[in-house]
Amino acid sequence: MDAAINEKVNSWLNGNYDEATKNEIKKIASENPQELAESFYRSLEFGTGGLRGIMGVGTNRMNKYTVGMATQGYANYLKQQFPNEEIRVAIAHDCRNNSRFFAETTANVFAANGIKVFLFESLRPTPELSFTIRLKKCQGGVVCTASHNPKEYNGYKAYWNDGGQLVPPHDKNVIKEVEKIASVDEVKWSGGEANITIVGSEIDAQYINMVKGLSVYPEVIKQQHDLKIVYTSIHGSGIKLVPDVLKEFGFDNVNIVMEQAEPNGNFPTVVYPNPEEAEAMSIGLKKAKELDADILLGTDPDADRVGIGMKDRQGNWVLMNGNQTAVLAFNYMIEARKVKGLAQPNDMVVKTIVTTDMINEIARQSNINCYDVLTGFKWIAELIKEKEAKENYIVGGEESYGLMIGDKVRDKDAVSAVALLCEMVAYEKNKGRTLYDKLIDLYVQYGFYKERLISITKKGMDGQQQIAAMMETYRSNPPKEINGVAVAQLLDYEKLEGKNLQTGETWKITLPKSNVLQFILADGSKISARPSGTEPKIKFYFSVNTKLANAADFEATEKTLDAKIDGIIKDMKL
C-alpha cells in the first residue's frame, strides 16, 4: 500500500473512531490488504447523485463517519447561504441496510448544528422527500438511499430548497465545505435532539392528495375501477405509498407481489433491485400471466423509478424499456390535456439528452416546447425553476425509467407515475384497446424510434482510468463512419461544442459541462457515450429510427431496427 493510503488508515486507527471500526480495519488489514486499499485510496465524492458507495469502514466507503463529515460540510454551507434564518431540512430513507442509521446520523449532525430537522418516522419514497422540502419550506434535505444499486451499496442524496438535488454552484461548494472537514472531531455529533421533529402520516396524506390531483380522466377510472393491476415494490419503499395512491385514484383490483412486498435491504429475491432488469420483474411477470392482468408495474428501492410490463399484439407479456414508457407518458399528458381543454399555450416538457428523440417529435407536432437537459432529474428541476412563471411544466423524464409528472415534486417520482400509467391503461381499455396498441399507433404517427443501452463496468482502482482513456480516444479521434454510415456530427458536452464532421463547422452547446459524447449519424441514428459519476461504469446509448407505414409492419420493422443496433455495437467493438 502506498504511503498516502497508510497515512489515512493510521489516522483512523489512532483517531476518535469507535472500537468496532478500528477492529474491522485491523481484520481487513490482515485478511485482505487489497480491500483495505480500496476502502481508503480516495474519499467518497459527490457525483451526479450525491454520495454513493459500498458500505464499510474507510474514507471510500459509506459509514457513520463519511456520512457525518458530509453532513457537517453541508450544514456549514447551508448556514453560510442562509444567514440569520431558521434553517430547516427534511430527511428520509429507503429500505436498505443501515439506511435508518444513516438518516438518524444525518439528523443528529444537522440538529447539533442548530438546524431544524423533519425526520420521517420510517422508510419513505424519495419523491415524498422532495415534496416535503417544498411543503415545509426547507432550505435543504437528504435521503439515504443508493437507488437501484446492489445490496452492498448505500448513498446520500442532497437536495436544495426547490426540492431538486444539488446543482452548480451548490454541489461543488458543498464538496469544498465537506473537504474542509479534515477530522471527525470537527463534526457536531449530538446535542441538538430538541431540533428534530418526527413526521409521517400527515405528510403522506398531503402527498397522496397532490398525486390524485394529477389525474386527467378520473371518470374513466370509475368505469375501469376493476382494471387488473399487478404491482411489485421489489422489497423497497414503494409499498408505503403506491397501494394507497392507487386506491385513492379509484382502482380496486390491485394485486401486490407478496414475495417482494416486505421491505428488505438484502433484496432476497433479486440480484439487482432494479425494474430495468428483467430478472427483478420476473416474479411480478409470473403473477401478471397467472392473473391475466392488464398491466404489471415495479418500483425500485426508493420508488423513484418504475418499470412496466404488458401484453403485445400476440398476447405475449413484454417489458417496456424506459424510452417506451416515457413516450407513452409524455404523449398522454400532452394529448389528454388538449382533449380535456387543460392545455396552456405555454406548456413545456423536458427530457434528457440520452432519452429518445421521439419525444421531441411528439412535442414539435403538438406545438409544445421540449427542452433537452443533461442526464439526471436535478437538471429537469433546475430548468423548471428557471422557467417558472414563464412556461408551464407538464411532464419530464429520462430513459432510465424515471418520470416526473407535475411540478410539486422536483425529482423522479415512480409513485405518481404508477398511478398515471394505470390511468393510461384504463383510458385505452375504455376504447377497447391496449396501451401496446397505442404505442404502435404513435410509431406510425411520429416515426418508429428504437433504443438500446449497454453498460460496461471496469472494476478496481484503474477502472476509472480505463474509462477515461476510452473517452479520450473517442474525443480526439472520432470515427468517420459507424456501421457503414457516415458520422455527421460530434457533440462534446465537456467541451460544450458541436461539430459538423463533413464541413468542419462548430457551434456552442448551451448546457453545463458533462463528460458525454454523442455521434449523430447521417441517417439520424444517435450513439451516446457517458461514464457514470458514481461507479466505474460507462454507458452507451443507441437510438435508430425509421418510418412505420402501418401497424401491420411493426414486427418486421422492429427486427430491421434491432439488426441496425446490433451492427453498430459490433462495429464499435463493444
For residue 574 the three cell numbers come to 463493444
3-state secondary structure of 381: helix
Residue type, 554: F
3-class SS letters over 486-544: EEEEEEECCCCEEEECCCCCEEECCCCCCCCEEEEECCCCEEEEEECCCCCEEEEEEEE
d(Cα 229, Cα 291) in Å, to the nearest integer? 9
The alpha carbon of 32 is separated from its chain's Cα centroid by a whole number of angstroms, namely 34
3-state secondary structure of 454: strand
3-state secondary structure of 373: strand
For residue 439 the three cell numbers come to 404505442
The enclosing H or E element of 226 equals none
Buried (b) or exposed (e) across 343-363, using 16+ Cβ within 10 A? beeebbbbbbbbbbbbbbbbb
User: Going by DSSP bridges, is the β-strand pair 116-120/88-93 parallel, antiparallel, or unpaired?
Assistant: parallel
* Catalytic residue, candidates 147, 237, 525, 528: 147
Cis peptide bond prior to 127, omega within 30° of 0: no
3-class SS letters over 1-40: CCHHHHHHHHHHHHCCCCHHHHHHHHHHHHHCHHHHHHHH
Residue type, 19: E
Decide: 502 and 482 in contact? Cβ < 8 Å: no
**DSSP β-bridge partners for residue 542:** 452, 527
Cis peptide bond prior to 345, omega within 30° of 0: no
Exposed, middle or buried, 132 (CB in 10 Å: 0-12/13-18/19+)? buried
DSSP, res 238: G
Is 476 an annotated catalytic residue? no
Decide: 116 and 86 in contact? Cβ < 8 Å: yes
3-class SS letters over 109-177: HHHHCCCEEEEECCCCCHHHHHHHHHHCCCCEEEEECCCCCCCCEEEEEEEECCCCECCCCHHHHHHHH
d(Cα 314, Cα 307) in Å, to the nearest integer? 21
> Which residues are catalytically annotated?
147
